[in-house]
Amino acid sequence: MIRILYFAWLKARIGRAEETLTPVPPTVGALIATLAARSGGYADAFSRPEAIRCAVNQEFAEPDQPLAAGDEVALFPPVTGG
């Protein structure tokens, strides 16, 4: 199982802030593909994968990063603080 967190417009489009997923997809990219294949808000949220950024266990991660059980995976748009 992994814990998935959503922020900003991803959270708004999906309609939830977090969820868990089992089985664990092999990589960040595989996770995004799995979520994008869902219906409703998910398809909308992931319609432009290039606009999605990811962190695994609170460190920025690329699509080829492997995932393991227990990981905290955050998905969000490019940051706009400051």
Q: Considering the rule CB under 8 A, would residue 77 count as an interface residue with other proteins?
A: yes
Q: Considering the rule CB under 8 A, would residue 8 count as an interface residue with other proteins?
A: yes
* Phi (first) and psi of residue 73, to 5 degrees: -115, 120
Give the span between the Cα atoms of 58 and 43, in whole angstroms.
Answer: 25
Binding mask 56-75 for other proteins (x = CB under 8 A): --x-x-------------x-
Q: Nearest CA to 29 among 78, 74, 62?
A: 62
* List 7, 24, 29, 41, residue binding other proteins (CB under 8 A): 7
Least Å distance between CB 16 and other proteins? 14
Give the span between the Cα atoms of 82 and 3, in whole angstroms.
Answer: 28
In the complex, the residues that contact other proteins under the rule CB under 8 A are: 5, 7-9, 12, 55, 58, 60, 74, 76-82
